[in-house]
Amino acid sequence: MPLSIETPALLFSATSLILLAYTNRFLTIAGIVRGLKASYQQNHNKSILIEISNLSLRLTLIRHMQMYGVLSLFFSVFSMALLFFGFIRWGAYIFGFSLLLLLASLAVSFWEISISVKALKVHLSDLEEEAGNRNS
């Protein structure tokens, strides 16, 4: 199948939106970490340290998600340049590599989301347990 210069260009809007979503997740978690740090300085609660550790892992994963996403966009643009200058085979290979990087970004995103869901379930189970104790 021949690869035209328009094919890598299709990734631009999708990758840009994904990177925006990743940045929003990063900013939200950074704000939560700052709030938890202030709370820990007042209370010295060990559970806050555990939560901050979890958020630190999530921030690391988001950094990797962003890195793979940016590299995907970079290699997509590079493949367009190769296609433009007539290096069809190399352009196709680089575009394939760009797709693999995008898949890696999405896989790390799935991992980060699963960590987030587990953390929320722990909070919900604590609330349900507390509510059950109050009703007893």
Whether 13 is covered by a domain: the verdict is yes
In which domain, by residue range, is 62 found?
6-131
* pLDDT at res. 136: 64
For the chain, give the mean pLDDT. 88
Q: What is the pLDDT of residues 48-98, one digit of tens each?
A: 788 888 899 999 999 999 999 999 999 999 999 999 999 999 999 999 999
Whether 1 is covered by a domain: the verdict is no
User: What total of structural domains would you count in the chain?
Assistant: 1
Helices assigned H by DSSP within 6-136: 6-9, 11-43, 46-84, 88-135
Longest dimension (CA), the chain: 75
**What pTM does this model have?**
0.81
Whether 136 is covered by a domain: the verdict is no
Whether 116 is covered by a domain: the verdict is yes
Q: Which of 8, 59, 1 minimizes the C-alpha distance to 30? A: 59
Whether 54 is covered by a domain: the verdict is yes
Whether 110 is covered by a domain: the verdict is yes
Encoding tokens for residue 116? 């987030």
Better-scored residue on pLDDT, 31 or 45: 31
- Taking the C-alpha atoms of residue 29 and residue 56, their distance in angstroms, rounded to an integer, is 9
